[in-house]
Structure 1
Amino acid sequence: MKTVYTTFQEAVSEIKDYSTIMVGGFGLVGIPENLILALVESKVKHLTVISNNCGVDDWGLGLLLKNNQIDKMIGSYVGENKEFERQVLAGELEVELTPQGTLAEKIRAGGSGIPAFYTPAGVGTPLAEGQEVRSFDGKDYLLQRGLQADFSLVRAARGDRHGNLVYNKTARNFNPMMAAAGKVTIAEVEELVEPGELDADAIHTPGIYVQGLIEGKQEKRIERLTLASNN
């Protein structure tokens, strides 16, 4: 059986200053909302955060950013956060932008124990400056290092006490690969069930990758609401 935490504060209590953390989700979909809120309350600082994006100004990772708890952000898309822009332009935040597919593969590689790989994405752009480029079959490829983290915080729809996880639809974005790439993975689940209740063929993340779980209700905010016209 895995550790099942009773409070979100307890779940993140081992995350200390200068930790590197991966946070699942795409926009506001599939983010571990309550674990992020607990990190904000903990006031842990100097974090390096690996995530597709940095939330919005008033929700998700944007709350950590607003609280000046993040020193470095490794991600792919940052266009929904005004505070992110302000901190970058003011020199308060270090940013490492990576093409989205490359970011996903860097995380997958890290979780698979692959230290580096070559990709054509980024060749001939500023991303390749100072990086190793090799030619294979007449085409140039850029060397990219795999990514790992001290902690991975993920969100799943269901999980059992063995740590097996099932994600709901598009919440199955960065969460599965991040679960494998963290030295310690903590899963926030909407429903915690007993072993045997999950269909073995439907499990997305095997429990071997998960060290702790906590059950909680999410707000599931909409990042950008678009309404159809009455015309």
Structure 2
Amino acid sequence: MIDKRVDSIEAALIDVRDGASVMISGFGGAGTPANLMRGLDACGAKDLTVIVNSLRFLEGQAPGLFAEKRVKKAVCTAARGRGKTPSDYELQWQAGELDIDMCPQGTFAERIRAGGAGIPAFYTPTAAGVELGKGKELRLFDGRPCVLETSLRADFAIMRGAEADRFGNVRFRGNQANFGMAMAPAADVAIVEVQAFSETPLAPEDIDLPGVYVQRIVLAPDTGEIRG
């Protein structure tokens, strides 16, 4: 019998090892898998590659990742810290200890979607001729310059949902749907923390993320997240 439920955050993240790559859903503080983020912080894995919209909110939920220099590379759309004092990850980037791959938000989403669809790379006019496009292959399409962007895949993807059944079918609420539906197919292991388990299969019209893309689901309390 298929049952993708696990008993704890620790069990959900049990095989996250040194050198792993992890996609983390959420738009700023909205729809973030806060319990899994804290679990990632607690698991002790290092030399991580994180793929996340905003580094600031990751640092807020999992401060040890940067305070203990356990992230070697970050792919993100926003890397500005909070306030005037530089964050740990800003200081590490300035010192050459952290590799940051910054990309426009639409490109970020498409790189993930392409990874899940088996597309190795694509051209986009976004970032052509500006700082973010420097060093990337450039081609003209109908006279318009476009840069080559590579797709993104990861060992793990973590996200938050409202409800799931034992088959791994997930229903999102509000901003929980932001990057999760693209990240799950782009990861070898997709893990979803949910607010409720459904003892009966979710109705097809209620499913936002099909269970075929989900490997583990774990019950986690409401974190007071922004829903939008």
- 1:126 paired residue number: 131
Residue 19 of structure 1: CA displacement?
0.5
1:108 and 2:109 correspond: no
TM-score normalized by structure 1? 0.90
Residue 92 of structure 1: CA displacement?
2.3
Deviations 1:135-169 (A, max 9, x none): 11111111111110011111111111111111111
Distance 1:104 1:86 in 2: 26
1:4 and 2:8 correspond: no
Tell which deviates more after alignment, 51-60 or 74-83.
Answer: 51-60
Please show how residues 211-222 of structure 1 align to structure 2 within 5 Å.
211-220=215-224
Distance 2:22 2:146 in 1: 28
Give the gaps of 5 or more residues in structure 1: 223-231
Tell which deviates more after alignment, 137-146 or 187-196.
Answer: 187-196
- SS of 1:59's partner is helix
What is the count of residue pairs matched by the alignment? 221
- 1:35 paired residue number: 36
Tell which deviates more after alignment, 126-135 or 41-50.
Answer: 126-135
TM-score normalized by structure 2? 0.91
Please show how residues 74-89 of structure 1 align to structure 2 within 5 Å.
74-81=75-82, 82-89=87-94
Residue 83 of structure 1: CA displacement?
2.3
Aligned residues of 1:156 and 1:166 also touching (Cα < 8 A)? yes
Supply the AA of the counterpart residue of 1:11.
A
Tell which deviates more after alignment, 79-88 or 172-181.
Answer: 79-88
Supply the AA of the counterpart residue of 1:216.
A
Identity %: 37
Supply the AA of the counterpart residue of 2:210.
P
Please show how residues 52-91 of structure 1 align to structure 2 within 5 Å.
52-56=53-57, 59-81=60-82, 82-91=87-96
Residue 75 of structure 1: CA displacement?
0.3
1:172 and 2:177 correspond: yes
Residue 219 of structure 1: CA displacement?
2.0
- 1:25 paired residue number: 26
Distance 2:174 2:81 in 1: 22
Aligned residues of 1:2 and 1:213 also touching (Cα < 8 A)? no
Deviations 1:79-116 (A, max 9, x none): 24422222222222110001000000000110111111
- SS of 1:124's partner is coil
Residue 176 of structure 1: CA displacement?
1.1
Give the gaps of 5 or more residues in structure 2: none
Residue 58 of structure 1: CA displacement?
6.0
Distance 1:187 1:221 in 2: 15
Supply the AA of the counterpart residue of 1:127.
L
Deviations 1:34-86 (A, max 9, x none): 11111211111010000101234862244422332211110001224422222
Aligned residues of 1:28 and 1:221 also touching (Cα < 8 A)? yes
Residue 175 of structure 1: CA displacement?
1.2
Tell which deviates more after alignment, 28-37 or 112-121.
Answer: 28-37
Supply the AA of the counterpart residue of 1:109.
A
| C-alpha spacing 1:53/1:62, structure 2 compared with 1 (3 Å) | farther
Indicate the RMSD between aligned Cα atoms, in angstroms: 1.7
- SS of 2:42's partner is helix
| C-alpha spacing 1:214/1:150, structure 2 compared with 1 (3 Å) | same
Which runs of structure 1 show a deviation greater than 6 angstroms over 4 or more consecutive aligned residues?
none
